[in-house]
Structure 1
């Protein structure tokens, strides 16, 4: 799959989300300006894009779990979101984009930072899109070498294989954040496709690996 990745020095979590938001809106406006004819051929309902405005809704993982339980989802604190949970949250908040922050650390990658104001949760976010679910995953990165090593050990990961990454903390780093956006998911959302396979030229499936 195609991945659009961003890393920013001296960025905190709020900066990271703001850039992700700006990237989404810029790309969407660009497509509406230059590819309206193609969208009309695909019978895309252009009116749904009017709902997509900054700032996007922001909520914590804890509040998201509470909302999902209110709506009848079988989920509890500490569970990761399933596809129905992700799509549901975007739907419950007006079929628009929703940032969910501060996931429990055990659900996160070893390099995601820990929020000092909310210990046990990460300085991370998922951006959820209507009908698609998770579109962007990002975080303020963990700056503390010892914490990263502890989390690698806890996850029983090979420290030697991660040594090149640990060097970035051993020999000097700066506060930084980043995110990754799934290009096919974004294209699929814009075009209103029912399957992500329609958003890539040469999809890989259970029975197809070439070309």
Structure 2
């Protein structure tokens, strides 16, 4: 008699590798169909969906009745023999000889009918189990893995930046303030300033974690809590900063294409579109981009309130993305619309050595710059922006003890996930979104 403990538990994604072998699958019932003495159970386990064929002649009467009584999202174990079949989900199915119900689920609130976004977000803890949402989560995981692997292999060190901070990084109007014992603190807007300090210790670093912006925006492109990847490089100029971003993003596109084929199919995302974005990024200066936008506006090709000197809005980013057909690096921005820490262009003091990466269909996914490395100039900028010199003294110290040219960028994870998956609303690109109107569940 076979010892049931010796039967190998396998993941559905690995099922085709066990053709002809008896295995155990553990998961949740995604769907079932069948009549009479034959049932087809669709089981999901997070790695994929597999079909289990349950015939009354191959299982006990109790097991068959247990299979027949299963409700959507019931948890169960199936034991059976793997059979390759290209008609089956994932290219393999199992001929079941044992069924064990772990938990019989109550009536599932998310049915096959159409549900409104509010209902689905109220049930986000359950909506995550749907095929579309699990596909997005797997692509998100692959993107994170690819980013980190690329930077690690390029000699970067991962450092962790604090969530509680004493000061603002990206402006005081979008800070979340909280009590910190007998003082005030703020939820971090960016780990950049701390990454700069770490770069002076380790040369090339990155931080990766949640960031918070109290922006009262209801658009599909904004979250109040999102994740940022922020590399920082000592002894770097603007082109080196862009080069790291370009290499990392192109590597990530290739990895998603290689490892997330089924997820892209489930999301109805054309792989050829992603392949077209694995290209050399054109560089265009802000003034040239602004001139193009004004020309297109005059010709009636798109509508926008943009005028030279303004930051780019969503329509402007869309127009540039469509024009280039691949990510484009917009450089040398007006200093008035960029952050205090960006270094001025020595050839034109009205511009900063900054860059935004505009991706087709997604808009800005990366913002970066060379940082101001001169103590007196940076001090003047802090005063100009009416920021607390005392709160930024530690940051100023970096310019007193071995200051070097350096730069980096921040990449918005959810915007990148949205871009590569084609999922338009950022609330679907993070497991549990936080927005102006939502903090539950």
Do they superpose with TM above 0.5? yes
User: Which of 1 and 2 has higher RCO (CA within 8 Å, sep 6+)?
Assistant: 1
In structure 2, what is the equivalent of residue 81 of structure 1?
312
Equivalent residue in structure 2 for 1:62, among 283, 287, 293:
287
2:373 counterpart of 1:143: yes
Residues 110 and 152 of structure 1 are in contact (CA less than 8 Å); yes or no, is this contact kept in structure 2? yes
Offset at residue 205 of structure 1 (A): 2.1
User: Are the equivalent residues in 2 in contact too, given 1:21–1:54 (CA < 8 A)?
Assistant: no
Structure with a larger share of its residues in helix: 1
Counterpart of 2:407 in structure 1 is: 177
Q: Displacement, 1:74?
A: 3.0
CA shift, 1:96, in A, is: 1.2
1:187 pairs with 2:417: yes
Instruction: Confirm whether residue 49 of structure 1 aligns to residue 279 of structure 2.
Output: no
Bigger mean CA offset, 153-162 vs 61-70? 153-162
- With normalisation by structure 1, the TM-score equals 0.95
Whether the 8 Å CA contact 2:306–2:313 is kept in 1: the answer is no
Correspondence for 1:205 = 435
**Are the aligned partners of 2:253 and 2:275 in contact in 1 as well (CA < 8 Å)?**
no
Report the equivalent of 1:40. Answer: 265
CA RMSD, aligned part only?
A: 1.2
What is residue 238 of structure 2 aligned with on the other side?
Answer: 13
Write the distance in 2 (CA, Å) between the matches of 1:23 and 1:210. Answer: 34
How far does the alpha carbon of each residue in 1:55-77 deviate from its partner, in whole angstroms, 9 at most, with x for none? 20110010111011111143222
Residue 338 (structure 2) aligns with:
108
In 2, Cα distance between equivalents of 1:42 and 1:75: 34
Give the TM-score taking structure 2 as reference length. Answer: 0.47
Distance in 2 between the 1:99 and 1:197 partners?
Answer: 26
User: Does structure 2 retain, via aligned residues, the 8 Å contact 1:143–1:175?
Assistant: yes
> How far apart are residue 206 of structure 1 and its match?
2.7
- Whole-angstrom CA distance in 1 between matches of 2:258 and 2:278: 16
Mind listing any 5+ residue stretches in structure 1 that lack a counterpart? none
CA distance in 2, matches of 1:206, 1:5: 24
Provide the rounded CA distance (Å) in 1 between the counterparts of 2:307 and 2:273.
31
* Greater Rg by CA: 2
The residue number in structure 1 matching 2:140 is none
How many residues end up aligned between the 2 structures? 210
1:2 aligned to which of 227, 233, 256: 227
- What does the per-residue CA deviation read over 1:139-162, in whole Å, with 9 as the maximum and x for residues that have no partner? 111111111111111111111111
Residue ranges of structure 2 left out of the alignment (5+ in a row): 1-225, 298-303
